[in-house]
Structure formats: C-alpha cells, structure tokens
C-alpha cells in the first residue's frame, strides 16, 4: 500500500510540470495565432522572389529579381467613407474634390475610392490607421498576384469586363474580380500612391532585397492605372511620379502593414 502511495505521489509530481508546460505552450500558441490574424480588410501577401519591371519602357528596365518579405496590404483602395472618418477624427482637410458628384467623391459615394488626396494626405491617413504606404516593389509583387512575366493582374489580357479603365468615373471598390492574392482594383479604378521617391533610372541600381526606392527625389511614386487611364497604363509594371503635394481626380491609394 505504501509503495502504491509512493508511486502515485511520484506520478503527480511528474504530471504537474508537464501540465504547466502544455498550458504555457497553449498560451504562447494563442498569442501567436492572434498576432498572425489578418487585420480587417487586409490580405497577407506571402514573401518571395519575383522579376520586377519590364523591358518595354525606359523606367521599367532592367528587369531584375527582387525579394520582398511577407506583408499585409489593403484588399481594396481606401474608400470615401474610410477617409472621411479619418478627416472627422483628426480634423484633417477633406479631399480636393469632396462633394463633387462628377468625381464620385463625397459622403454620397461611401464605397467608392477616395480621390483628390496628395501623397502627404495618404501618408497621414496611413499613420492614423496604424499602417503605411506600400513600396513600389511590394505594390508590383502584390499586383501580379502570383503570375510571372504577365502584363496585367489578370494575365496578358485586360478589357473593361476585368477592370475599370477608360471610363466615365470611379466605381465602388471590389466591383471587378480580384487577382490571385484576392486583391481588388490592382488595375483600374484609381492610380495609387506608393511610399517611394520616383526616379526613372532607379532600377539600374536598386537592391535585390526589399528595395525602398531612392533616398531622395522630386517626385513620389504612383502605380497602376485608373478610370481615366488607357489600357497600357494599367500594366503591373507601369511607373510614374508626382509631386508629393499634387492632387488628382484619377489618383487614390491603399495601405500596407508589416507582419508582426
């Protein structure tokens, strides 16, 4: 009987630490699971290597291999409703074309992409939202949706059933089918601000790991095509730049965020 008690006592001594270990592991796993959950309205883009650029235009070559880390990016462009909330909570100025039905910019068009915002406005919104603007490399990687050496997020073909371009105005976000990563309007609707300074010859010297653009410059990058753009302005590799204070009826933005 005494041997049985001793055995049970020894088993209990061994079991308690094991329970504590499993409990700690479970708590840690729960924390990790919470941290890996995608933020609302954002998509996790898995990191990887891809060919950045195109040999078709002077500022998109040379084509070169680039690697980006995993990141989150908004599944659609920032809407009028989202931007309006930011303006109300921060007393930030409203977009340049606010209240103009012609540009579908204002409270009557809550699910349409916001336009008439400068790069500085977009940065302010991103900071308020706990996010940032995507880099050029991240934007192109996300726009490609896992496709290699294709012109558009949909492949080598694009027509007005696939994206909103060469039209009379913006449409509600997520009107058209998403690309391979589940992202909407990576072609069409509005051109999008990115984080980087823009230089036409940057690709000749850009690093291969997580390029973030030139250290300085006169312009900030814009990517993708919009409702007022032609078909070939909607390619995944199309690059351009604007002064950071510039506002345009064809330009909006979406945000990104690091994986924590």
Give yes or no: residues 32 and 131 share one domain. no
Give yes or no: residues 214 and 252 share one domain. yes
Give yes or no: residues 15 and 126 share one domain. no
Q: How confident is the model at residue 227 (pLDDT cuts 50, 70, 90)?
A: very high
Has residue 3 got a pLDDT over 90?
A: no
To 10 degrees, the CA torsion angle through 177, 183, 186, 192?
A: 140
CB proximity list for 167: less than 8 A, separation 6 or greater: 160, 227, 228
Output the average pLDDT for the chain: 89
- Three-state DSSP class for 65? strand
Give yes or no: residues 31 and 45 share one domain. no
Give yes or no: residues 189 and 227 share one domain. yes
Task: Determine the Cα–Cα distance for residues 134 and 192; give it in Å rounded to an integer.
Answer: 10
* Region of poorest pLDDT, from 12-26, 55-69, 78-92, 240-254: 12-26
pLDDT computed for residue 22 by the predictor = 34
Q: How confident is the model at residue 260 (pLDDT cuts 50, 70, 90)?
A: confident
Give yes or no: residues 115 and 80 share one domain. yes
Q: How confident is the model at residue 2 (pLDDT cuts 50, 70, 90)?
A: very low
Mean pLDDT for 21-50 is 61
Which tens digits make up the pLDDT trace of 147-182?
A: 999 999 999 999 999 999 999 999 999 999 999 999
Any idea what DSSP says for residue 60? G
pTM of the predicted structure, to 2 decimals:
0.85
Give yes or no: residues 9 and 116 share one domain. no
Q: Which domain holds residue 28?
A: 1-37
Give yes or no: residues 90 and 195 share one domain. yes
Comparing CA positions, the residue from 40, 236, 260 lying closest to residue 139 is 236
Q: At 59, which helix (H) or strand (E)? A: none
Give the CATH number for residue 197: 3.90.1580.10
Give yes or no: residues 19 and 138 share one domain. no
Give yes or no: residues 106 and 234 share one domain. yes
Q: How confident is the model at residue 23 (pLDDT cuts 50, 70, 90)?
A: very low
Q: What are residue 241's phi and psi, to 5 degrees?
A: -145, 155
Has residue 211 got a pLDDT over 90?
A: yes
pLDDT computed for residue 40 by the predictor = 86
Give yes or no: residues 134 and 83 share one domain. yes
Give yes or no: residues 9 and 52 share one domain. no
Count other Cβ atoms within 10 Å, centred on residue 233: 18
Q: How confident is the model at residue 20 (pLDDT cuts 50, 70, 90)?
A: very low
Number of domains in the chain: 2
pLDDT computed for residue 37 by the predictor = 55
């Amino acid at each position: 009987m005494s041997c049985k008690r001793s055995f049970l006592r020894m088993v209990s001594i061994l079991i308690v630490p094991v329970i504590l270990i499993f409990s700690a592991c479970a708590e840690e796993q729960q924390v990790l699971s919470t941290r890996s959950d995608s933020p609302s309205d954002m998509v996790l883009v898995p990191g990887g290597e891809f060919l950045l650029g195109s040999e078709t235009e002077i500022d998109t070559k040379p084509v070169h291999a680039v690697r980006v880390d995993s990141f989150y990016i908004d599944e659609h462009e920032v809407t009028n409703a989202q931007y309006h909330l930011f303006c109300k909570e921060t007393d930030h100025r409203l977009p340049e074309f606010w209240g103009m039905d012609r540009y579908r910019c204002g409270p009557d068009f809550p699910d349409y992409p916001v336009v008439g915002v400068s790069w500085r406005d977009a940065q302010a919104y991103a900071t308020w939202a706990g996010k940032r603007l995507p880099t050029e490399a991240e934007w192109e990687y996300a726009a490609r949706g896992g496709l290699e050496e294709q012109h558009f997020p949909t492949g080598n073909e694009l027509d007005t059933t696939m994206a909103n371009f060469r039209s009379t105005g913006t449409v509600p976000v997520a009107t058209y089918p998403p690309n391979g990563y589940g992202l909407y309007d990576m072609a069409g609707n509005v051109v999008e601000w990115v984080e980087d300074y823009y230089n036409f010859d940057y690709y000749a010297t850009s690093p291969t790991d997580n390029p973030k653009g030139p250290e300085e410059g006169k312009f900030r990058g814009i990517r993708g095509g919009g409702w007022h753009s032609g078909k070939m302005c909607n390619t995944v590799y199309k690059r351009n730049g604007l002064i950071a204070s510039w506002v345009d009826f064809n330009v909006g933005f979406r945000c990104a965020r690091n994986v924590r």
